[in-house]
Chains A and B, each alone.
Chain A
Amino acid sequence: MTTPGDSGARETWPLWEVFIRSSRGLSHVHAGSLHAPDETMAVRNARDLYTRRAEGVSIWVVRASDITTSDPDARGEFFESPQGKEFRHATYYSESESVPHL
């Protein structure tokens, strides 16, 4: 399986995926990726690349090669199976008239 964003042997530093939490109470959200020689420098590079305009209060970095991804070629069996299975949505329940504001 290929590493997301990896451009092969030209890279001298590993690729890191960056997740930024924009404020307290929110989740870390993927912001982008960068190169760094190790995890300590990756956090610093992330600070310089992705929080220059006060976008965040917390940074996570993950080595891109440590992320296991779904296979883009297996989209059919992975993601199209729910088609035709509308019963999985909560739309088959009848609403009780005696329960307002449901």
Chain B
Amino acid sequence: MNHSNHVVSSAITAEKIADSSVVAPDAHAEYALALGDDALVLAHRLGEWITNAPELEEDVALGNIGLDLLGHARSFLTYAGSAWNRSEDDLAYFRDEAQFRSRQIFELPNGDFAQTIARQLIVSAYFVELYRALAESSDETLAAIAAKASKEVAYHLDHSVQWLQRLGLGTDYSRERMQAGLVVMWPFVDELFRADPFAEALESAGQHGVAVDVTALRPAFDALVPRLVVDAGLEVPELPAARGGGRGGIHSEALGPMLAEIQVLARAHPGATW
């Protein structure tokens, strides 16, 4: 539209991290890689909606959210890679399933639109709290990535809440499917707020104030999301928590095929550019 008022952004990007001389300390890199994997896996899932959403406008909305998350993933992976002289692509394309540290909720299949919205609601509420806290990190790069991501995930939460309300308060059929989506995703809420081993490693190494203690974020989630669900005419599922283990490389059967799709081109043509 009007490119004349385009402003050169001061926000952090993967390119700026790569071009800088910043080198992540090893334990910081391990933690950043875990956060990056969460964002990368979910970004791909959202990308799967493009051309498949209920309306063209929703293709773009979910695609935009996916691209925001891909931006977070690129920044975290680039920063992590600075510790080991590896690029974001090295880390995204040339690690196997057991080396991915993403929490399991991110890799779960999209299901129908309501199921995708259920996940996006849960994880956006989590990300809002996570990045708000991480923006105060003593690691300046992690803090800058989180500060930029904070504004984006706040919009993702808004988008999810809008749809939660419309599906929950729409027709009997839309309510039924929204409830079914919540039932699929809810058992994976617990894992999001379990202690992060890579954050604990930073703590035990005496590096306080770098990572976020996600166990402390649960009360804020519990104060917000169940109320949103109830206000949308839905029920908060009461289900046992899934086993989890994503941070330790334990994944559901959904991640392998997804990684194959993400990685096949880069592995078939190593070093190719396009």
Contact = CB atoms under 8 A, between A and B. Distances in A.
Interface of A: 12-13, 20, 22-23, 31, 34-38, 40-41, 44-45, 48-50, 52-56
Contacts of B166: 37-38, 41
15 contacts: A20-B1, A22-B5, A23-B5, A35-B56, A36-B57, A37-B166, A44-B159, A44-B162, A45-B61, A48-B60, A49-B60, A53-B1, A53-B3, A54-B7, A56-B1
A59 B3 CA distance: 17
Contacts of A20: 1
A44 B3 CA distance: 22
Contacts of B162: 40-41, 44
B210 to A, nearest CB: 32
Contacts of A35: 55-57
A48 B1 contact: no
Nearest to B7: A54
Which 7 A-B pairs have CB atoms at the shortest separation, nearest pair first? A55-B1, A45-B57, A22-B2, A48-B61, A48-B64, A48-B60, A23-B5
**Size class of the contact patch on chain B:** 10 to 19
Grouping DSSP codes into helix (H, G, I), strand (E, B) and loop, the B interface class, with mixed when no group exceeds half, is: helix
Interface in B1-28: 1-3, 5-7
Contacts of A45: 57, 60-61
Contacts of A52: 64
Given A12-B55, A41-B162, 9 more contacts: A22-B1, A23-B2, A23-B5, A34-B57, A35-B55, A44-B61, A44-B162, A48-B64, A49-B57
A27 B271 CA distance: 48
A56 to B, nearest CB: 8
Nearest to A47: B155
A54 B151 CA distance: 14
A55 B61 CA distance: 17
A22 to B, nearest CB: 4
Contacts, number: 43
Interface of B: 1-3, 5-7, 55-57, 60-61, 64, 158-159, 162, 166
A54 B8 CA distance: 11
A57 to B, nearest CB: 9
A21 B64 CA distance: 21
Nearest to A40: B162
Given A36-B57, A45-B57, A50 B159 contact: no
Nearest to A26: B2
Contacts of A41: 162, 166
A41 B158 CA distance: 11
B160 to A, nearest CB: 11
Contacts of B64: 48, 52
A37 B174 CA distance: 14
Given A41-B162, A44-B159, A13 B60 contact: no
> Which of A38, A53, A54 has the largest number of chain B CB atoms within 10 A?
A54
B174 to A, nearest CB: 11
B66 to A, nearest CB: 12
A23 B5 CA distance: 8
B128 to A, nearest CB: 17
